[in-house]
Amino acid sequence: MSGALCGLWVDEAGTVHVSREVAGGGRESGAEVLRPFAWLGAGEFPAGEGVGIEALAGEGFFARLAHADSLSAFETWLAAVKAAGARGLDVVKPFESQWLLQTRNRLFDRLPFSRLRRCQLDIETGSSDGAFSDAGKADDRVLAIGLRCGGEARFLVLEAETDEAEKTLLERLNAALAELDPDTIEGHNLFKFDLDYLRLRAKRHKVPCAWGRFGQKAKFRNSRLKVAERWVDFPRCDLPGRTVIDTYLLVQLHDITARELTGYGLKEVAVYFGVTNDEDERTYLAGDRIAATFREDREKFLAYLGDDLRETAGVADVLLPTYFEQVKTFPVLLQEATLRGNTGKIDLLFLEHYYHARQACPVPPEVAPFEGGYTRSFHEGVFRHVLHFDVASLYPSLLLLLDRNPRNDALGVFIPLLRKLREYRLRYKQLARSAPTADERAEAQARQASFKILINSFYGYLGFSGARFGDGELAAEVTRRGRELLQKLIDAFAAEDCAILEADTDGIYLSSEKYHAAPGALLEKAARVLPAGIELEHDGSYAAMWCYKAKNYALRDGDRVILKGSALRSRGIEPFLKKLTGRLIRHLLGLDAESPAAWLAELRRAIAAGELPVSELAKTEALSMNPDAYERLMAEGGKPRRAAAEAALQMNPRPRMGERVSYYLVPKSKGQTADWQRARPASAFDRSRPETAYDPAAYLEKLDDWAARYGVFFNLPPPAPAQGELF
């Protein structure tokens, strides 16, 4: 039996170059064959030399399948198809996925994460004038390239600050990568900084970016990644036969659900993930000190670079295994797994079934808008004896209960696949606890986490117009049953004299003095109203809960506070207001005796006196478009203006789409009254320059608004107390 696939690349001729693990951990190259294929729609398609077309079973729109003998025959035929104006052709891209699907191969099959051959890469750069690094400038330089492979660091250092030496350095990088032959190249902000910078310097010195396997050069193109509600632009880099992992992007994807990070820089992220625990555990260097340290204190410079590599590895240790495990299930490259949404991956699994069954495929259906989950806030105020119950995996469970495949899924792949993934997940969840070695447990943990994400995305897949086997009516039926079920639970809890506080989609917060110490008894009673296969769980008990509005509340968990909702915990809120709200909540939950009134007064004084740091006042917002694009749009009379975008225009270098910008407001002047007209980057504030001073009136007004909103909770007599209310 041959070793696990660790690298894969389809060349222009259609040859599939593979790299496999061999005994002892080495890698060996091999070649395989791809028979390129495409699905054909209803139109007329020209014949092609070396291209065969067959009819498929079933009713779907793509009722024929074309296979070509070679990639060149395929490309020639595609050009003819295009010239003939034929439409309705579907080609799986990239070709690496096509081959994996066609042969049912998977990357890293049965390879433990510990045997993945990983390499971290980080560069340090310098500019002669000490300004921001800019690879386009002649006398900017790569000072050093750090590579860390198998835990061992190797430093390639610029020998002299000359073009010759830099050229040599880039050539040494090529040689080092060829020698180390890693499966992955990992770095923090690798796409936007390191690789892009190296590309520009290599171009200047006419050195090929031969960082790929099989002696291949890197390929660059502009790409875009959706991170929750925003898009992030980045210059994508693909290395034939290798995987480029940018932990900067992985961190942002992680933070979609965690939403805890305030910045995505390596140092902060490493502390957040516990890779670096103490400030003195690593060497820190300010950005503008790097070049000087390179010249004056080489040891310190290299220690800094080595720490960056170590931290990058540590962050990837946490974030990469999920994707590594995905690749064992889906016919995608590891890099694709990190840069693609779940729909594309699920679609590929479907297509693999349909391909091998020679079954016609549908076009993605239109999905009409449909109703979602049930959400309601029942009471406002502070309550004690709080319990939280939720339904385990509500939507996947309902899908399995309904046992209904999407309308277009003639082969009936959907439900069996979901069932299989859930069984796998449960098995790995068990193994994550019981496997004999720590490595195996970590492996199982990554696998079960990866499956959990996939399982949960099946419902979203149904409701997405771009999903080939989407079915809006089935998605609507799932949410309808979900609402029905939650209502039943609410009634069951109410029948036990619980005060329902907040319900959202699959969970309920309630107050019950009687059951607070015995949640199991209540659980057992409520669970009776649920059908078999739907499991209710006791998710938590809390001493107190402050209910504000729907999806916005705070819980007291021992001495800690758990905040939920954009009104309370959004990272866009000005820090001084967020902290004020934090104090209010601690007071309301009985953790602080002092009311926030005194702090409110102190803030008023500090703001009026111009003493509050601008970092406390600044609002922060992610840019939804590139500043250049915004500028053009506005020049054409576009709308609306946005304060954060206006602040971004004043920054140098300009931040890019997806990056977060902090801004504050300067006083109103003639014709300059709107926020967007008086927004300034927080970084432009300078205490010693009065013309950069902030507008106290604007911030005092925000305090007034805050007091109007929240004052009722702490310094006005509360309205008639509801059942179970505290204080």
Contacts of 520 (CB under 8 A, 6+ apart): 538
Question: Helix (H, G, I), strand (E, B), or coil: what is residue 173?
Answer: helix
Contacts of 437 (CB under 8 A, 6+ apart): none
Instruction: Report in angstroms how near the CB of residue 374 gets to DNA at its nearest.
Output: 8
Distance CA 590, CA 402 (A): 45
Instruction: Report in angstroms how near the CB of residue 566 gets to DNA at its nearest.
Output: 3
Contacts of 601 (CB under 8 A, 6+ apart): none
Sheet holding 679-681, edge to edge: 619-622, 660-665, 679-681
- Residue number with CB closer to DNA (443 or 659): 659
For every residue of 35-53, DSSP letters joined together read --EEEE-SS----BTTEEE
- Residue number with CB closer to DNA (549 or 632): 549
Instruction: Report in angstroms how near the CB of residue 319 gets to DNA at its nearest.
Output: 16
Q: Which residue from 357, 312, 280 is spatially nearest to 65, judged by alpha carbons?
A: 357
For every residue of 83-97, DSSP letters joined together read HTT---EE--SSHHH
Q: Which residue from 209, 534, 580 is spatially nearest to 398, judged by alpha carbons?
A: 534
Instruction: Report in angstroms how near the CB of residue 693 gets to DNA at its nearest.
Output: 18
Distance CA 2, CA 20 (A): 8
Instruction: Report in angstroms how near the CB of residue 386 gets to DNA at its nearest.
Output: 13
- Residue number with CB closer to DNA (217 or 230): 230
- Residue number with CB closer to DNA (273 or 458): 458
- Residue number with CB closer to DNA (143 or 612): 612
Amino acid at 3: G
- Residue number with CB closer to DNA (191 or 294): 191
Question: Helix (H, G, I), strand (E, B), or coil: what is residue 404?
Answer: coil
Distance CA 388, CA 489 (A): 12
- Residue number with CB closer to DNA (637 or 717): 637
Instruction: Report in angstroms how near the CB of residue 340 gets to DNA at its nearest.
Output: 4
Strand ranges for 168-287 from DSSP E: 184-187, 219-227, 230-238, 243-246
Distance CA 355, CA 38 (A): 10
Strand ranges for 515-635 from DSSP E: 536-549, 552-557, 560-564, 619-622
Sheet holding 37-40, edge to edge: 51-55, 64-68, 37-40, 89-90
Instruction: Report in angstroms how near the CB of residue 39 gets to DNA at its nearest.
Output: 17
Share of the chain residues as helix, strand and coil, in percent rounded to the nearest 5:
45, 20, 35
Instruction: Report in angstroms how near the CB of residue 667 gets to DNA at its nearest.
Output: 15
Strand ranges for 492-640 from DSSP E: 499-504, 507-511, 536-549, 552-557, 560-564, 619-622
Instruction: Report in angstroms how near the CB of residue 568 gets to DNA at its nearest.
Output: 8
- Residue number with CB closer to DNA (565 or 711): 565
- Residue number with CB closer to DNA (372 or 653): 372
- Residue number with CB closer to DNA (186 or 659): 659
- Residue number with CB closer to DNA (354 or 509): 509
Instruction: Report in angstroms how near the CB of residue 580 gets to DNA at its nearest.
Output: 12
Which burial class, exposed, middle or buried, applies to 605 when counting CB atoms under 10 A from its CB (0-12, 13-18, 19+)? Answer: exposed
Contacts of 234 (CB under 8 A, 6+ apart): 191, 192, 222, 223, 224, 225, 246, 249
Amino acid at 265: G
- Residue number with CB closer to DNA (277 or 375): 375
- Residue number with CB closer to DNA (51 or 501): 501
Q: Which residue from 296, 321, 260, 268 is spatially nearest to 108, judged by alpha carbons?
A: 321
CA-to-CA separations, 418 to 390, 399, 401, 422, in angstroms, rounded: 21, 9, 12, 6
Instruction: Report in angstroms how near the CB of residue 639 gets to DNA at its nearest.
Output: 4
Instruction: Report in angstroms how near the CB of residue 247 gets to DNA at its nearest.
Output: 19
Instruction: Report in angstroms how near the CB of residue 661 gets to DNA at its nearest.
Output: 9
Question: Helix (H, G, I), strand (E, B), or coil: what is residue 657?
Answer: coil
Give the number of other CB atoms < 10 A from CB of residue 32. Answer: 14
- Residue number with CB closer to DNA (144 or 648): 648
Instruction: Report in angstroms how near the CB of residue 572 gets to DNA at its nearest.
Output: 4
Amino acid at 694: Y
Contacts of 116 (CB under 8 A, 6+ apart): 6, 108, 183, 184, 324
Strand ranges for 130-218 from DSSP E: 140-149, 152-157, 184-187
Which burial class, exposed, middle or buried, applies to 240 when counting CB atoms under 10 A from its CB (0-12, 13-18, 19+)? Answer: buried
- Residue number with CB closer to DNA (1 or 716): 716
Segment 682-691 long-range contacts (CB within 8 Å, at least 24 positions apart)? 682/614, 682/615, 682/618, 683/651, 684/650, 684/651, 685/614
Contacts of 119 (CB under 8 A, 6+ apart): 147, 148, 149, 177, 180, 182, 184, 185, 186
Instruction: Report in angstroms how near the CB of residue 197 gets to DNA at its nearest.
Output: 21
- Residue number with CB closer to DNA (81 or 474): 474
Instruction: Report in angstroms how near the CB of residue 453 gets to DNA at its nearest.
Output: 9
Instruction: Report in angstroms how near the CB of residue 446 gets to DNA at its nearest.
Output: 19
The phi, psi pair for 558, rounded to 5°, reads 65, -120
Give the number of other CB atoms < 10 A from CB of residue 713. Answer: 20
Question: Helix (H, G, I), strand (E, B), or coil: what is residue 566?
Answer: helix
- Residue number with CB closer to DNA (457 or 511): 457
Q: Could you give the residue ranges of the DSSP H alpha helices within 379-437?
A: 394-402, 414-434
- Residue number with CB closer to DNA (149 or 339): 339
Instruction: Report in angstroms how near the CB of residue 299 gets to DNA at its nearest.
Output: 41
